[in-house]
């Protein structure tokens, strides 16, 4: 069974600085998706960034980028130029490639990010 681990329950960053959130996962599959989701205090979960395992290039979305190390099964999220609106809980998630698992996301325990003005 696949597992996702986020070892940092809480992180803090100064506004405009850079922060990296860690995520490791365990799987025997070779094809899968990895995601970072953001859950602000309002509770609406939104997708921040996704990575397909077959792609060697790290995904980037504006100030958000990932460091995907497939062999090490590591998937960290870097937030550059942190803003107050980035304060939220961040979840790392895994999804199998197969069509039989399209709706099943496996989440890590989450990292609460505090942004200090």
Q: What share of the chain is helix, strand, coil (3-state, %, to 5)?
A: 5, 50, 45
User: Is residue 105 close enough to count as binding another protein by CB under 8 A?
Assistant: yes
User: Is residue 103 close enough to count as binding another protein by CB under 8 A?
Assistant: yes
Query: Binding string, 32-61, against another protein, x = CB under 8 A?
Result: -----x----xxxxxx--x-----------
Q: Is the dihedral of CA 51, 55, 56, 59 positive or negative?
A: negative
User: Is residue 64 close enough to count as binding another protein by CB under 8 A?
Assistant: no
- Min dist CB 90 to another protein, Å, is 12
Give the Cα separation of 93 and 24 in Å (integer). Answer: 10
């Amino acid at each position: 069974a696949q597992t996702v681990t986020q070892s940092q329950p809480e992180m803090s960053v100064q506004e405009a600085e850079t922060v990296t959130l860690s995520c490791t996962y365990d799987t025997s599959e070779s094809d899968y998706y990895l995601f970072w989701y953001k859950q602000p205090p309002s509770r609406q979960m939104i997708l921040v960034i996704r990575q397909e395992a077959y792609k060697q290039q790290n995904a980037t979305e504006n100030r958000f980028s990932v460091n995907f190390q497939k062999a090490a099964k590591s998937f960290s999220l870097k937030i550059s130029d942190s803003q107050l609106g980035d304060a939220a809980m961040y979840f790392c998630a895994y999804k199998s490639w197969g069509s039989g698992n399209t709706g099943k996301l496996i989440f890590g325990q989450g990292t609460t990010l505090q942004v200090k003005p």
